[in-house]
Amino acid sequence: MPTPRSRSRVAASLTIALGLTLSAPQIAQSRVVDDVTDDPTSASMSSAQSPSAAPGAGLEQADSGGLSEPPAADELLPESASGVYLVRLEEAPLATYQGGTDALAATSPEATGEARLDTDSADSRAYLDHLAEVQEEAGLEIEELLGRDVEVTDTYTHALNGIALELSAEEATALVGQPGIAAVEPDQQWELDTDVSNEIINSPAIWAGETGSS
């Protein structure tokens, strides 16, 4: 039969073993947290990537002042025949804007309940002014990223929010995935098959006013 002293030693041993067992996961977890924290790739997102960043802001500039790394040849965007690329920005255009930006009222008919888009309303004009500022800021940040002045050939605000820029395929590819940019695609030119359709739909008599009525 164990003596009181031996019972005390057994209890002390069990307490120590139990304490080590319970603390082991905490020690392991602490090591994992330290490893993640010390990893330089786990640095926090910049304010430009934060959802609360100013609209249109956030294009990251390469350390060299130009393109960060030339993309692989098989990853380049197609060449644009006109040398122009359409850069679509993330903020909604006038036709689909449903509110939530800088206290600007919604303009989308789906949100306003109107039968059609009113492009001349005070709310629409205010939002169009906002998009103009967003596009100007995006253009400046693109110039900073590419390290040169960029020609803006056109801007779009109603059906889509975007800017048309004169870029090389390499420069256009460098913009893909940048904060604030939703998509980049080359300008496409379409050839008209005809500008007269009545012969195609077999209706020359109707176009000539010969409907057969007396």
pLDDT in tens, 4-22: 444 444 444 444 444 444 4
CA 166 to chain centre: 20
Of residues 46 and 161, more confidence is placed in 161
Q: Tell me, what's the pLDDT at 213? A: 60
Residue 137 — very low, low, confident or very high, per pLDDT cuts 50/70/90? very high
Q: Tell me, what's the pLDDT at 152? A: 97
Q: Tell me, what's the pLDDT at 212? A: 63
Count of alpha carbons within 13 angstroms of residue 195, beta-carbon side: 1
Taking residue 133's Cβ as centre, other Cβ atoms within 10 Å add up to: 13
Please calculate the CA angle 147-141-148 and round it to the nearest 5 degrees.
Answer: 20
Q: Tell me, what's the pLDDT at 207? A: 75
* 203, 109 Cβ separation under 8 angstroms: no
Residue 214 — very low, low, confident or very high, per pLDDT cuts 50/70/90? low
pLDDT in tens, 16-44: 444 444 444 443 343 333 333 344 333 33
pLDDT in tens, 47-89: 333 333 444 445 544 443 444 444 454 589 999 999 999 999 9
C-alpha dihedral, 86 to 46 to 126 to 99, nearest 10°: 100
Of residues 15 and 98, more confidence is placed in 98
Task: Determine the Cα–Cα distance for residues 147 and 127; give it in Å rounded to an integer.
Answer: 30
* 85, 185 Cβ separation under 8 angstroms: yes
Q: What percent of the chain has pLDDT over 90?
A: 52
Identify the weakest region by mean pLDDT among 47-61, 62-76, 132-146, 194-208: 47-61
Task: Determine the Cα–Cα distance for residues 117 and 111; give it in Å rounded to an integer.
Answer: 10
Residue 214: helix, strand or coil by DSSP?
A: coil
CA dist 116 → 95, 113, 119, 200 (Å): 9, 9, 9, 33
The per-residue pLDDT of the chain, averaged, comes to 75
Task: Determine the Cα–Cα distance for residues 2 and 179; give it in Å rounded to an integer.
Answer: 72
Q: Tell me, what's the pLDDT at 96? A: 98
Task: Determine the Cα–Cα distance for residues 77 and 65; give it in Å rounded to an integer.
Answer: 22
pTM for the predicted model, two decimal places: 0.59
* 48, 179 Cβ separation under 8 angstroms: yes
Q: Tell me, what's the pLDDT at 16? A: 42
